[in-house]
């Protein structure tokens, strides 16, 4: 599968100020596959080591950080010549090695000529538990599930991707029904590589759902393995509550919806765990549509989204046919499902900050405020072709320096104060 992140890896390889690379992301999003594919395509040699439960490397960094010794051991274990600039060293599940992340500082300072990339499913959690990759000594790439355009490419529709990227709206409009058909399939399959591969090979919805349920089982296992028993209960409660939280009228996360009388102090560490594991995306409230949005975040009010629409459907146990067809029974939750899709697509875009907006008395709410480089975009998200945008219209009138965006199933149109962007184009609009 082609992944957009490979372009970031190529830029990293060619950067003369390159540092050791940390590839972060949830389990099963394709980190290992991407690194190995990148290594095979762009290096003469790939020295790959899986550090999970691997006694041959358990003490690789335990004694000292002698780079000559360490590189010699890596070469001996992998039986690959370690040649600066020609060999990509990959240490997978690096968090399982004692001092593994700390060692990256010494790769940066003492062996900068060597190209080393590390990956791990729970690196964010490891960093919050005491052992952190040294600030300023590593480069970081965040991996996500496949976007809609990556999904189109994976199922053999590269030309549809090229047309979306061209922003040739007239041609895109001619192909509208094709895009909508595959978008509904993507809503169900999602972007987890194993689920996409299962769809490509079988075109069987129940086989895809089995894969998704297996991934959810792996995530629950990680919760039990890497958190205290007390914390596991709270992490699981937050995790299981996400579908119902998103189905609420304004999608705002409510602690009391997890359990009666629930408070922030009970669940904030559980939410942070899920964020660090890459399983949820947190979107905070913004109090003003000003640059930079981070200055105006209200951290006490937020929404939580799942990393992948396919997994959201599986977690909520939504029958596949209700996602795959237009005339279904999703009704109230359809908007939240669509909103989750948009958030996951924009999350893969670099140089962006996402918030949602509500004024102090909560009489005016906007689905999303997006900072894209030096631009602020107020965004409204519609599941179908409903073109009423009263809140967005009011917001733009109050902030005439801004142009609104509405993501819907309707065709592209520029109305001056607002632009309608087809939902299937949201992954490419900011490219």
Q: What confidence tens digit (pLDDT) does each residue in 53-88 have?
A: 899 999 999 889 999 999 999 999 999 999 999 999
Q: What is the pLDDT of residue 135?
A: 77
Nearest-angstrom CA–CA distance, 157 and 69: 48
Q: Exposed, middle or buried, 338 (CB in 10 Å: 0-12/13-18/19+)? A: buried
CB 186 within 8 A of CB 148: yes
Q: In terms of C-beta density within 10 A (0-12 exposed, 13-18 middle, 19 or more buried), how is residue 294 classed?
A: exposed
Dihedral class, residue 306 (left if φ above 0, else alpha if ψ from -120 to 50, else beta):
beta
Residues 356-398 have pLDDT tens digits of 999 988 789 999 999 999 999 999 999 988 777 789 999 999 9
Contact 248, 227 (CB under 8 A): no
132 pLDDT more than 70: no
CATH 3.40.50.300 domain residues, the chain: 5-142
In angstroms, the CA 376 to CA 374 distance is 7
Tell me the fold of 5-142.
Rossmann fold (3.40.50)
Count CB-CB contacts under 10 A for residue 130.
Answer: 6
Model pLDDT, residue 329: 52
Find the farthest-apart pair of alpha carbons in the chain and give their distance in angstroms, rounded. Answer: 67
CA distance 371 to 369: 7
Give the tens place of pLDDT for each residue, 272-284. 999 999 999 999 9
pLDDT tens profile 40-61: 999 999 999 999 989 999 999 9
Contact between 62 and 99 under an 8 Å Cβ cutoff? The reply is: yes
pLDDT higher than threshold 70 for residue 130: no
pLDDT tens, residue by residue, 302-323: 999 999 999 999 999 999 988 8
Burial class (CB in 10 A: 0-12, 13-18, 19+), 260: exposed
Lowest mean pLDDT among 98-112, 132-146, 259-273, 305-319: 132-146
Tokens representing residue 54 in the block: 């691997």
* 221-225, 264-268, 326-330, 395-399: least confidently modelled range: 326-330
Three-state secondary-structure class, residue 139: strand
- DSSP H helices, 227-333, are 229-246, 264-276, 309-315, 320-324
* Residue 249 binned pLDDT confidence (cut-offs 50, 70, 90): confident
Q: Is the pLDDT of residue 171 over 70?
A: yes
Strand 352-358 versus strand 297-306 pairing type: unpaired
Intra-chain end-to-end CA distance of the chain, in Å? 20
* Cα 196-197-200 angle, rounded to 5 deg: 90
| Confidence (pLDDT) at 239 | 98
Instruction: Note whether 127 and 11 are within 8 A (CB).
Output: no
Q: How many CB atoms lie within 10 A of CB 246?
A: 21
Say what angle helices 100-110 and 67-78 make with each other, to 10 degrees.
110
Greater confidence (324 vs 3) lies with: 3
Contacts 24+ apart (CB under 8 A), 317-324: 320/188, 320/205, 320/206, 320/208, 320/209, 321/205, 323/184, 323/187, 323/188, 324/184, 324/185, 324/187, 324/188, 324/205
Q: Please say if the pLDDT value at position 431 is more than 80.
A: yes
Spatial distance between the Cα atoms of 153 and 165, rounded to a whole number of angstroms: 12
At residue 128 the predicted structure's pLDDT band, cuts being 50, 70 and 90, is: low
Q: Give the span between the Cα atoms of 268 and 266, in whole angstroms.
A: 6
Place of tokens 């894969």: 211
Token pair in block for residue 375: 């631009």
Residue that wins the pLDDT comparison between 336 and 409: 409
pLDDT at position 306 is 98
Is pLDDT at 328 greater than 60 in this prediction? no
Average pLDDT, the chain: 93
**% the chain with pLDDT above 90:** 83
pLDDT confidence tier of residue 160, bands split at 50, 70 and 90: very high
């Amino acid at each position: 599968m082609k992944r957009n992140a490979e372009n970031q890896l190529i830029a990293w390889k060619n950067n003369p100020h390159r540092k050791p690379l940390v590839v972060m992301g949830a389990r099963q999003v394709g980190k290992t596959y991407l690194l190995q594919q990148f290594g095979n395509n762009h290096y003469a040699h790939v020295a790959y080591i899986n550090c999970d439960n691997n006694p041959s490397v358990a003490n690789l960094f335990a004694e000292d950080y002698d780079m000559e010794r360490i590189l010699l051991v890596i070469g001996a274990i992998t039986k690959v010549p370690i040649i600066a600039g020609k060999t990509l060293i990959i240490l997978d599940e690096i968090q399982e090695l004692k001092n593994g992340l700390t060692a990256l500082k010494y790769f940066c300072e003492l062996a900068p000529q060597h190209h080393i990339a590390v990956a791990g499913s729970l690196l964010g959690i490891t960093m919050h538990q005491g052992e952190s990759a040294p600030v300023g000594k590593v480069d970081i790439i965040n991996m996500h599930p496949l976007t809609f355009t990556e999904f189109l490419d994976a199922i053999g529709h590269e030309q549809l991707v090229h047309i979306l990227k061209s922003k040739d709206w007239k041609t895109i409009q001619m192909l509208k029904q094709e895009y909508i058909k595959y978008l509904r399939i993507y809503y169900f399959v999602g972007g987890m590589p194993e689920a996409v591969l299962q769809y490509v090979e079988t075109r069987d919805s129940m086989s895809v759902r089995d894969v998704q349920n297996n991934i959810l089982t792996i995530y629950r296992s990680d919760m039990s393995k890497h958190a205290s028993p007390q914390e596991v209960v709270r992490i699981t409660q937050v995790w299981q509550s996400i579908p119902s939280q998103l189905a609420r009228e304004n999608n705002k996360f409510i602690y009391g919806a997890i359990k009666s009388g629930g408070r922030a102090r009970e669940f904030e560490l559980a939410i942070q765990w899920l964020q660090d594991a890459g399983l949820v995306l947190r979107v905070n409230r913004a109090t003003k549509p000003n640059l930079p949005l981070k200055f105006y975040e209200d951290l006490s009010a937020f929404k939580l989204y799942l990393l992948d629409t396919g997994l959201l459907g599986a977690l909520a146990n939504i029958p596949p046919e209700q996602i795959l067809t237009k005339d279904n029974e999703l009704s109230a939750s359809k908007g939240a499902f669509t909103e989750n899709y948009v958030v996951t697509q924009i999350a893969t875009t670099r140089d962006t900050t996402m918030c949602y907006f509500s004024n102090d008395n909560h009489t005016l709410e906007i689905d999303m405020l997006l900072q894209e480089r030096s631009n602020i975009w107020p965004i409204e998200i519609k599941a179908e072709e409903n073109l009423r945008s009263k809140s967005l219209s009011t917001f733009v009138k109050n902030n005439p320096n801004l142009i609104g965006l509405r993501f819907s199933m309707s065709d592209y149109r520029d109305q001056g104060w607002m632009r309608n962007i087809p939902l299937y184009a949201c992954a490419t609009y900011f490219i």
